[in-house]
Structure formats: C-alpha cells, structure tokens
Chains A and B, each alone.
Chain A
Amino acid sequence: MTFHDGDEQARSTADAVARRSYGKLVAFLAARTRDVAAAEDALSEAFASALADWPRNGCPSNPEAWLLTVARRKAIDMHRGKLRHEIAGEQIRIMAEGLDAAAAESEIPDQRLALMFACAHPALDSAIRAPLILQAVLGLDAAMIASAFLVSPVAMGKRLVRAKDKIRQAGIPFNIPEREELPARLDTVLDAIYAAFTEGWTDPGGTDVARRDLTEEVFFLARLVTELLPDEPEALGLLALMLHAEARRRARRNADGEYVPLAEQDPTLWDWQLIEEAESLLLRASTFGSIGRYQLEAALQSAHVSRGRTGRANWADVVHLYDALFSLVGSPVVAINRALAIAKLHGASAALDAMPDADTDARLAEYQPYWAARAELLAKSGAHAEARQAYEIAIGLERDPAVRRFLQQRQSALPL
C-alpha cells in the first residue's frame, strides 16, 4: 500500500513536472546540440526512469534537475551507441560541459523561446512549424497533432522527424533574434501559435476533449510568449484575439447544440472576465504605437463585443479596421469578412462587388466561408437561385454538423 501511494505520488509529481517543465528541459537539452529528436528521446527515457526510481527512493527535492541529469546521461549513452566518428567525441564533450553547467546552476535557464524561434524558423516549411512547436515545447504526440491538423498520423510523424533533421543539419540557430530581425521572426512564431489555435477552435462546442485540451495548451504558449517578451505588441495582440474568440465559445451553441451566429448570440453568455483581460492586453499593446495584424484582428473582435454590449452599430469602424487589415495582410479571408461588414453599411450589392472572385483565386473554391458569405449576400440582394446554389456548396464544404444544419435551414428559408 505504501508502495502504491509512493507510486501515485511519483506519477503525479512526474506529471506536474512534465506539464510545467517539459519544454524547458527539451529546450535546454537541444540548445547546444540542435538535436531536438535526441533531446526528446533522452527526456522520455528520463521520465521513464523517474517513474521507476521515485516510488522506491522518494521524489527528489529538485525533480527538474534530477530529470535533466538523467536525460543528459541517456543522451550521451545514445550518442556513444549511434556515432563512432570523431564528431561523437565532440558531441559528448558539448553534452558533458552542459551537464556540469546544469549541475552548477540551481535554476535551469528558460530557453523555450529560443526553441520556439528554431521551430518556427523561415527555413522550415510553414505548415510544419505549428505542429513542431506543439511537439517540442509541449510534448504532444504526433497522433494528437495529426488529428488537429487533419493529416494522417504516419505522415505527421514523418514530417516532424524531417523538420527536426533539418534543424540539426541546416544549423538552424537556437536563439532569440536580434532587435532588427525580431519583429519578422516573431511573426512566424505567432503565426504558428495562431494556426494551432484555429485548429483547436474548429470544435466550437468544446465536445472533443482532445481539441479542447489543445486550445488550453495553445493558450499556455501564447501566454508564455507574452511573459518572455512582455514588450512585443503583436504578441499581446495575438493573446487578446485568442481570448476574445475563447470568450464567445459557449455562446456559439444553444441548449440543443445548434449553431448560433455572432449577430444572434446572447452577450450574457460571453465570458466577460476573458473579454476584460483581452481588452486590457490590447490597450497595453496600443501604448507601443506599432500596429500589426494581430492587434487589428483583436480590435475587430473588440468592436464586435462593444456592438453586442451597447447595441450600437459600429460598422463604419469595423470596415475601417478591415481596410487597414487588408492593406497589411491582403488575404482573401480578410476580404470576405470586409465584404460582410460593407453589406451592413452600404448594402448587399456593394458587398458582392467587394467580394474576392473564386474564378480568379482557385483556393476559394474549397473555402467554406467564401460560399457561406456569398450565399448570405446573394440572398439579401434577392438573387435567390444563385443564393441557393452558393448555400449548397457551403453546406457540402462544412465539417461541423451543427453549422451544416444551420446553413441548410438558411437555404430552405429562401423563397422559391
């Protein structure tokens, strides 16, 4: 029984350390060698050793340092086994030096940000950056990441391995970029975090446990960046944007699980604590006087919230913000949302003129929000037959059954 208790305690301590320190330990182990995969392997062996050792000998007073020491030994063993060239000696020397340094320091230096910059490096394929951060910094497994990004687990596993090989072979640096380089490089980190967030966000009902967990993990990353780089307005803007989206999650479903669009949501169901946090972050971001994509997107969310709270239409402000965002990002996604705001201000036909064209941009043919927006605007302008056809395609492209039913209702409400 005592053994069992110790077992439980060891497991929960290991879990707690894993949650708090996983990325820190991977970052520290990989920073010198640039070998993320070896750091992960060594650390997973160290966690396995901890689960065997801690129940017998009690939890160490500094579990992080214990894990790091064991992980380094494992890493050195693995290198000895794997490499027989001169380089092996060099790697072992680097590792051993780090081991001594780690033993000398009571606090393990936090190099997670450097690890994130390496994972989001422009030399890596942009599609693998978010998955790589989720794995290296948070320790999520390839299967969970694969489902979130709609890729087969085998393919995701291979891509992660390839990306880690590239970090090692191309000598991608583990550091925080210099001042002049920082904004552009930070954008790639923020984009990766946002990509991970929007994948988690595709489960608005919060019914899929794995996706909900992913959202929590991504918030952890976004907060981490703002803690480590407190004076970067775009990092603050991204966190504000995510908080706004999260605040309305519950209101996007009614009691029957049906989809509720923004205009019909009950503001009392919004999480006002999250909204207040978002607003104060955005305010702090604005004091730096450097506007960017995420601050503008957060400001748009803020405008929607203010309209919901006061009932006062603010579409001119919204269109203005979309104009600024479009000139910065120039994406068809922004153009679609801008057109929907224009409809409120100048009517459906002006909005249809402002819509991007699926005939000139092939990506839109498979982009559900394009067809849903087009259907709504055509319906408003009285082009019912065309609206019905656009709804049909929007329904066919939708993944969420609740949104699909919502669109089907809109479609059948069209006059014949």
Chain B
Amino acid sequence: MQYLLMAYVNESAWPTMTKAEQEQGMAAYTAYREALTKAGVLTGSNRLQPSSTAATVRLANGKSQVLDGPFAESKEQLGGYFLIDVADHDAAISWAARCPAVSHGVVEVRAIWGMPA
C-alpha cells in the first residue's frame, strides 16, 4: 500500500534557528530518508520551497483566477512529503512517528487511491 506522509511545519521557526541547528535539522531529514531507503519503502520524497512562493489557481465565473500564496492560511504549511510503500496503515503511522517533522509540526498520513486491479 502506498501512503503519502505530508510534513506540515511552522515556516517562521526556520529563519530563527542558528546555522548549527539548521544543519542538525537537515541532517535528521537526510538520515530519515536513508532509513526509509534502507528499509526499502521509499518511493519518492521532496522538500518544498516556502509557501510564500506558492500560487493557487481556480476557475471563478468561468475564468481562471490566480492568487499568490498557499490555499489555506495557517501556522503550519506543507513543507515536504514522503511517498512510501508499506504493508498497512499501522506501518505508515510508525514511519510518520519517526519523521523529524513531528517535533516541529505535524505529519499527515494519507493512503494513495489505488488503481482498480
């Protein structure tokens, strides 16, 4: 089963961290990816640019509307994701619990809508 682990983090905390803290934080994510890879469950992963670079697009009254900024204004913003392939929902949750993001944000676990066989 594939699951998307979405890391929602407080973006305003990052610039306030010292360089050493940022490096340690980055290294924790690198190690997490390494552990996912070693366990053979990692399908894909990326870190996202800050939500200030986001644009949202919708159709309003039949016309495209483009707005600057993320879809939802909230303290925690989607900062990255891990697409994993594991046995079940429990296994996905145990991987989410290991994600460094849980100590400075939240990780949402969502099952991928599988293709009908």
Contact = CB atoms under 8 A, between A and B. Distances in A.
Contacts of A365: 38-40
A133 interface: no
A69 interface: no
A151 B90 CA distance: 6
Contacts of A408: 24, 27-28, 31
Contact of A399 (B27, B33, B89, B97): B97
A254 interface: no
A396 B32 contact: yes
A401 B32 CA distance: 12
B89 A366 contact: no
A393 B28 contact: no
Interface of B is mostly: helix
A393 B30 CA distance: 10
Given A365-B39, A398-B98, A404-B100, A150 B93 contact: yes
Contacts of A392: 30-31, 34-35
B90 A150 contact: yes
A393 B40 CA distance: 12
A12 B34 CA distance: 51
Nearest to B92: A152
Interface residues of A, number: 17
A396 B98 contact: yes
Contacts of A366: 35, 39
A404 B38 CA distance: 18
Contact of A396 (B31, B40, B89, B102): B31
A127 to B, nearest CB: 9
Interface in B64-117: 89-90, 93-94, 97-98, 100, 102-103
A395 B31 contact: yes
A399 B40 CA distance: 19
B32 to A, nearest CB: 4
27 contacts: A150-B94, A150-B97, A151-B90, A155-B89, A155-B90, A365-B39, A365-B40, A366-B35, A392-B31, A392-B34, A393-B35, A395-B32, A395-B35, A396-B31, A396-B33, A396-B35, A396-B36, A396-B38, A396-B98, A397-B98, A398-B98, A399-B98, A401-B100, A401-B103, A404-B28, A404-B100, A408-B24
Interface of B: 24, 27-28, 30-36, 38-40, 89-90, 93-94, 97-98, 100, 102-103
